[in-house]
Structure 1
Amino acid sequence: MTVEAPAKINLRLAVGPVRADGYHEVLTVYFAVGIRDRLRASAADDLTVEVVGRQAELVPVDSSNLAVRAARLLAERAGVRAGAHLRIDKRIPVAGGMAGGSADAAAALVACDRLWNLNLGRDALIELGAELGSDVPFAVHGGVALGSGRGERLDPLPTRHVFDWVLVPAEGGLSTPAVYAECDRIREETGWEPVPPRVEEELIGALERGDAAALGRALANDLQPAALRLNPALEATLRTGRELGALGALVSGSGPTCAFLAADGAHAAALCKGFAEAGHTAIHGTGPAPGPRVVDDGRYPDEAAWCAAFPAADSLT
């Protein structure tokens, strides 16, 4: 059973004060973008994982792997004694603020639900995802949604438009806990007064109208100053995107991937070309993308046959 799951961008990430449980209260606009990891689940006696593809060496292949944890949780809650070998093909930047690990967990939940004939349904898988991490419920959901709490409570948001994005990964990754801790330090230094997080109506309206220019102006990330302090080179990447004419630019989530909004596909291609000339890798993805989708139900006997049937839909420059 092979499943693809998309990356996410936080169009708005508003970070409130620290809660009693140690998490920050957040309000965020999740947006699934069509850069996808692929996970193949095969019947096995135990739960094992292998990782191939971009930055595969950075992903753990033991019991700490989030996809393995997802499959184990699913088996426990469903009361089944079942195993699976998970093969993850990485395309989403690792530790890049795009929820690649959460996408893999979501793909594992969907794939193993089908592989083991559980048929629990998306809502049940979303509930399980909340036990694995703040971004996993949205990784199961896909599309566009408002996330609240620590990000795990979702309300779908309407949009009638397909938006084009250019994602520029950075060397190395950023630890999400480290970025939040740096955000807290910056706030302490500047005397920040705790206020509830909020999402501006301008952004919600731009999404609903399909107004890319207005959406670009409304993009904002409260974690961006912390990410820039931890990785100052990101400021130059953001500046390059603005100079190339991106409608909007921000650090994605906790970073260090930077996201740039384009007017359309041709504009995105021009941005990719400009970034390549400046020495950056740039990935073009569109969205909102659907959540995890089954692209192979076991009918294809080997990897070559599967890849021929389902070629990559996302361009890489």
Structure 2
Amino acid sequence: MRRCVVCRRIRFMETHVDIKSYAKINLFLNVLGRRLDGYHEIETILALVELSDVISIELAKSGIEFTSDFPGLENFSSSEKEWWVALNHKPEGGGGVQQTPCLPAKNLILRAAGEFFRRTGIRAGIKIHLQKRIPVGGGLGGGSSNGAATLLGLNRMFGFPLGREELFEIAASLGSDVPFFLRGGVALAKGRGEIIVALEGMDKVLDWVVLLLNPGFGISTPWAFKAYGQFLGLPNGMQGQASEFIEALKSGDIHRVAAKLYNSLEKPVLKKYPILELYKDFIISHGGVGALMSGSGSTVFGLFEDSVTAAACCDAALSFFGAPTFGVVTRFVMPGSCVDGTSV
């Protein structure tokens, strides 16, 4: 049954919006086991950091156009007629815009834009450009963040036609961790990652400095979880360990937090990619309080008490490991609002 799309009145409209699309790191990742639906049950602590892509959206006469400075993403353009047909295409068995053959399936920016226009019924031409700075396949959530930022940018551009619940509903349909990027800050994610619980009282982490090191290649998340399942002698984690980590975070003691950094996926991933272990050792030997692989890799992060030590470690790592190692010193970002116009 085709959904009736109701056009909403636009209260006001901006002609150009630039919005930052922040990266995240997993401070804690505990894999609890495989579920009946094939996914893995996890509990993880996500934290937003300042490293970001930038998404620029501007009004166009008609249709949609997507460009990027990242060669791995194909440019895309569609006429108004093709675009509107794509938005209202409903394959048998239901599903949303993300399942249509008319849009690139892996481009979360276009999927988010398509769902925004389908839900609101707004007909407008737009141009979207992505300045890519977050390493792809690096365990930093760049694609999911791009999808969330696109929703926030379009909602602001067209006068906030969607409320909080609708935005989070769309975000959840795009991917498990996309809702986290609508709010940001620090959060506990459970289930397969789609159950997001915001953690309050984490302002002390703003004093900490984060170093990110990436080897210049990505790691497939499905591969990492498969490798975890096949890794001999690696037991499933015990539920509830995340609560101990949260208590450490609340204390504001960086040394206590560093002692509890944990990622179930590290052993199988580091076995295949030993350079990530070298990154961790290098960070600790150059003043880092703690180091961990983020998500399924390939980025390793280090926690530092001051920016001077972190910057010196970054410079030394880039000199020692050479290209294509990528390194950047960043900090944590506290939450913004997805409904009042403040970018995350």
* TM-score computed with the length of structure 2 as normaliser: 0.78
**2:212 equivalent in structure 1:** 167
Match of 2:309 among 260, 263, 267: 267
Match of 1:184 among 229, 249, 265: 229
Q: Residues 194-273 of structure 1 correspond to what in structure 2 (within 5 A)? A: 194=236, 197-273=239-315
Distance apart, 1:152 and its partner CA: 1.7
**1:7 equivalent in structure 2:** 23
Distance apart, 1:293 and its partner CA: 8.4
Distance apart, 1:202 and its partner CA: 4.0
How far, CA to CA, are the matches of 1:269 and 1:2 in structure 2?
Answer: 28
**1:25 equivalent in structure 2:** 41
1:275 partner SS: helix
How far, CA to CA, are the matches of 2:63 and 2:30 in structure 1?
Answer: 41
**1:50 equivalent in structure 2:** 67
CA gap of 1:247–1:234, structure 2 versus 1, over 3 A, is: same
Distance apart, 1:195 and its partner CA: 5.4
Distance apart, 1:196 and its partner CA: 5.1
Identity of aligned pairs, percent?
A: 35
Asked if 1:41 is matched to 2:57, the reply is: yes
Match of 2:329 among 284, 293, 296: 284
Q: Deviations over 1:99-152 (max 9, x none)?
A: 011111111001111223343234432221111111211111100011111112
Distance apart, 1:268 and its partner CA: 1.6
Asked if 1:95 is matched to 2:137, the reply is: yes
CA gap of 1:196–1:216, structure 2 versus 1, over 3 A, is: closer
How far, CA to CA, are the matches of 1:58 and 1:251 in structure 2?
Answer: 23
**If you compute each CA radius of gyration, which structure gives the higher value, 1 or 2?**
2
CA RMSD between the two structures:
2.3
Match of 2:110 among 55, 60, 68: 68
How far, CA to CA, are the matches of 1:46 and 1:20 in structure 2?
Answer: 42
Distance apart, 1:85 and its partner CA: 1.7
**1:152 equivalent in structure 2:** 194
Asked if 1:79 is matched to 2:149, the reply is: no
Output the amino acid matched with 2:120.
A
Assess if the C-alpha contact under 8 Å between 1:3 and 1:292 holds in 2: no
Q: Deviations over 1:216-264 (max 9, x none)?
A: 1111111112221332221111111121121111111111011110112
How far, CA to CA, are the matches of 1:265 and 1:122 in structure 2?
Answer: 36
Output the amino acid matched with 1:85.
K
Assess if the C-alpha contact under 8 Å between 1:47 and 1:72 holds in 2: no
CA gap of 1:24–1:285, structure 2 versus 1, over 3 A, is: same
* TM-score computed with the length of structure 1 as normaliser: 0.84
**1:310 equivalent in structure 2:** none
How far, CA to CA, are the matches of 1:184 and 1:61 in structure 2?
Answer: 36
1:287 partner SS: coil
How far, CA to CA, are the matches of 2:74 and 2:31 in structure 1?
Answer: 29
Assess if the C-alpha contact under 8 Å between 1:6 and 1:290 holds in 2: no
CA gap of 1:131–1:284, structure 2 versus 1, over 3 A, is: same
4+ residue stretches of structure 1 with deviation over 4 A? 291-294
- Structure 1: runs of 5 or more not aligned: 298-317
- Structure 2: runs of 5 or more not aligned: 1-16, 77-103
How far, CA to CA, are the matches of 2:178 and 2:125 in structure 1?
Answer: 21
